[in-house]
């Protein structure tokens, strides 16, 4: 065993804190003990399955095409997840999948095209995962915000349309507000990195024994790529969804509002 | 050139047997006819839920008919660019809709190239003045805000103004002021289509009246009863809904 592996004993030790969480839940009568245990069990099952599959994909002798197949599956699952989290947004499954695919294509083109990392399974899979994971949350947020803004401000949008504005002009102030809302958390997170928290990739590299300076440069590059990916994904969702919410003759469709 | 026999108030906007059926199959309008004439105030009257606002929204294509035709100067509105149509058929909503920013910002939404003088002229036309230009639109009273909405619509130089119960949120003084404004605009040659279910207002304002009941044109008998204040037909009141 190398020094970065914790082994079964280490994993079992981490359950001590789960026991604390369960005890606290019982003490405070939160009725969350079963949920905590179920979440931990489910996470373990998922990660063991994923880990087994990853072992095959990340094998240095495995063809790199396996990594790309993994990324395609990741994009499809992300599209479904976005749909599940934003069911009130019309057409979000197709748009979310398109946005995730765009993010992967653009970010991998930059990463591999500019030679930042070699085109291997061990780089393609985790990097694409980080881009998709962060973009997914922003995509859900921007989709819900656009539907909410155009629904809440329907009077204003129609007043603009009634003055002869095209749908892009009539919707611009409200879509812009939604895009800002979705992008600002990532900008704030980028600003706070290092001061408030050490991000995952850097933590992993440091734990794996990498030089701190190397960990910093890799983490910085990843942060920049994530910021770009989030901006790309919300732009795809913003443009596509707004177009979908208007008819060809510049009328605002009846927007379904969330009741949740 | 108009001929000597041209009618003094030619039709500008006409609704011909228009039906509206929603996506879930509910028929809101069952074949309604109405005409708006140049220089006339046509009041679209009827009880709440009669489909008046739906008909009005067909006028500048915020809604489209499922059947029937909306004509603008004898041309099927469906053949016109909706943005051009909407600039020639202005609309004022029930509740004044003002955009963030100043009165000037609001007027520039209607015409980004409008000069200071054009904006002032539009304000004066609706009874406001130059001092309002730099006021924050959100700070205007209900009556001032509704006048601003009319001024904003006028900057697109419309031939028809659709007014959807524009005084329902106003006090009696402002209500009469906006009514007088509508009459003045008609005097300038604009065709006004005004929605109301207030019988007193209908009497004060209308050159022509179209009465609607249950999504259709009222029969002559129903219209007469409605205009006489028969509550069985109309539920009509002297005052509008709050």
pLDDT per position as a tens digit, A76-127 = 999 999 999 999 899 999 999 999 999 999 999 999 999 888 999 888 998 9
Q: Does A55 touch chain B (CB under 8 A)?
A: no
Which residues does chain A have within 8 Å of residue B63's beta carbon, measured at their own beta carbons? 251
Q: Does B21 touch chain A (CB under 8 A)?
A: no
B1: pLDDT strictly greater than 70: no
pLDDT at residue A41 in the model: 94
Closest residue to A166, CB basis, from B83, B95, B100: B83
What is the C-alpha separation between A143 and A20, in angstroms, rounded? 38
- Of B168, B210, B222, which Cα lies nearest the Cα of B18? B210
pLDDT at residue A133 in the model: 92
pLDDT at residue B192 in the model: 96
pLDDT at residue A199 in the model: 78
Across A42-49, average pLDDT: 91
Across B127-134, average pLDDT: 93
Across A55-72, average pLDDT: 89
Global pTM value: 0.83
Across B179-197, average pLDDT: 93
Mean pLDDT of chain B: 90
User: Higher pLDDT residue, B73 or A57?
Assistant: B73
**Structure letter (DSSP) for residue B30:** E
pLDDT per position as a tens digit, A134-185 = 999 999 999 999 999 999 999 999 999 999 999 999 999 999 999 999 999 8
What is the C-alpha separation between B195 and B56, in angstroms, rounded? 8
What is the C-alpha separation between B229 and A14, in angstroms, rounded? 79
- Choose from A152, A160, A163, A169 for mutation: most chain B CBs within 10 A: A163
Q: Which residue of A has its CA nearest to B163?
A: A162
Confidence category of residue A4, pLDDT binned at 50, 70, 90: low
pLDDT per position as a tens digit, B134-151 = 999 999 999 999 999 999
Contact B202, B45 (CB under 8 A): yes
pLDDT at residue B231 in the model: 65
B176: pLDDT strictly greater than 70: yes
A1: pLDDT strictly greater than 70: no
Q: Which residue of A has its CA nearest to B60?
A: A162
From edge to edge, which strands make up the β-sheet containing B160-164?
B89-92, B160-164, B191-196, B41-45, B208-213, B216-217
Q: Which residue of A has its CA nearest to B99?
A: A156
pLDDT per position as a tens digit, B19-76 = 999 988 999 999 999 999 999 999 999 988 899 999 999 999 999 999 999 999 989 9
Dihedral over Cα of B51, B54, B59, B63: its sign? negative
User: Higher pLDDT residue, B169 or A23?
Assistant: A23
pLDDT at residue A61 in the model: 86
- Choose from B53, B76, B110 for mutation: most chain A CBs within 10 A: B110
Cβ separation A164–B93 shorter than 8 A: no
| Residues 6+ positions from A223 with CB-CB distance below 8 Å | A190, A193, A199
pLDDT per position as a tens digit, A184-217 = 988 988 888 777 777 777 888 888 888 888 888 8
Nearest 5 degrees, angle CA B17-CA B23-CA B29? 25
pLDDT per position as a tens digit, A225-252 = 999 999 999 999 999 999 999 999 999 9
The interface pTM score, or ipTM, of the predicted complex is 0.89
Which residues does chain B have within 8 Å of residue A173's beta carbon, measured at their own beta carbons? 100
Across B215-239, average pLDDT: 75
CA distance B133 to chain A (A): 19
Contact B205, B43 (CB under 8 A): yes
Q: Does B23 touch chain A (CB under 8 A)?
A: yes
pLDDT at residue B236 in the model: 44
Q: What is the dihedral of CA B217, B219, B224, B230, to 10 degrees?
A: -80
Closest residue to B62, CB basis, from A156, A173, A251: A251
pLDDT at residue A260 in the model: 37
Dihedral over Cα of B136, B140, B145, B148: its sign? negative
Across A220-228, average pLDDT: 91
């Amino acid at each position: 065993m190398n020094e970065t592996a914790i082994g079964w004993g280490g994993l079992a030790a981490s359950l001590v804190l789960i026991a604390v969480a369960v005890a606290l839940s019982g003490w405070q009568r939160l009725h969350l003990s079963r949920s905590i245990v179920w979440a931990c069990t489910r996470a373990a099952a998922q990660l063991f399955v994923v880990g087994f599959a990853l072992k095959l994909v990340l094998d240095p002798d495995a063809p790199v095409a396996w990594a790309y197949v993994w990324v395609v599956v990741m994009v499809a699952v992300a599209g479904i997840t976005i749909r599940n989290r934003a069911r009130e947004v019309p057409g979000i499954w197709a748009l979310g999948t398109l946005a995730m695919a765009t993010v992967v294509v653009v970010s991998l083109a930059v990463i591999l095209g500019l030679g930042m990392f070699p085109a291997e399974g061990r780089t393609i899979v985790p990097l694409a995962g980080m881009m998709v994971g962060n973009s997914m949350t922003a995509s859900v947020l921007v989709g819900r915000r656009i539907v909410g803004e155009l629904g809440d401000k329907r009077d204003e949008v129609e007043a603009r349309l009634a003055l002869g504005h095209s749908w892009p002009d009539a919707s611009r102030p409200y879509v812009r507000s939604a895009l800002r809302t979705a992008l600002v958390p990532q900008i704030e997170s980028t600003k706070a990195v290092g001061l408030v928290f050490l991000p995952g990739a850097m933590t992993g590299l440091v734990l794996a024994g990498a030089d701190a300076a190397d960990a910093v440069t890799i983490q910085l590059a990843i942060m920049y790529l994530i910021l770009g990916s989030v901006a790309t994904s919300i732009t795809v969702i913003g443009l596509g969804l707004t177009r979908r919410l208007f008819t060809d003759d510049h009328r605002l469709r009846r927007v379904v509002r969330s009741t949740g | 050139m108009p001929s000597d026999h041209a009618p003094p108030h030619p039709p500008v906007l006409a609704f011909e047997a228009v039906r509206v059926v929603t996506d879930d199959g509910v028929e809101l309008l069952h074949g309604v006819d109405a005409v708006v004439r140049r220089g006339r105030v046509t009041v679209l009257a009827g009880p709440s839920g009669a489909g008046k606002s739906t008909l009005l929204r067909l006028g500048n294509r915020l809604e489209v008919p499922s059947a029937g035709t909306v004509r603008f100067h004898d041309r099927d509105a469906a053949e016109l660019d909706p943005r051009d149509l909407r600039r020639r058929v202005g609309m004022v909503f029930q509740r004044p809709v003002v955009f963030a920013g100043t009165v000037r910002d609001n007027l520039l939404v209607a015409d980004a190239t409008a000069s200071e003088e054009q904006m002032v002229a539009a304000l004066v036309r609706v009874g406001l003045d130059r001092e309002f230009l730099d006021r924050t639109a959100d700070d205007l009273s209900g009556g001032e805000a509704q006048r601003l909405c009319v001024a904003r619509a006028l900057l697109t130089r419309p031939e028809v103004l659709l007014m959807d119960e524009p005084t329902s949120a106003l006090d009696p003084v402002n209500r009469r002021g906006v009514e007088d404004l509508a009459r003045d605009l008609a005097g300038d040659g604009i065709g006004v289509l005004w929605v109301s279910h207030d019988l007193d207002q209908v009497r004060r304002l209308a050159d022509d009246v179209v009465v609607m009941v249950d999504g259709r044109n009222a029969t002559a008998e129903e219209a007469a009863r409605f205009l006489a204040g028969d509550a069985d037909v109309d539920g009509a009141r002297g005052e509008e809904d709050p």
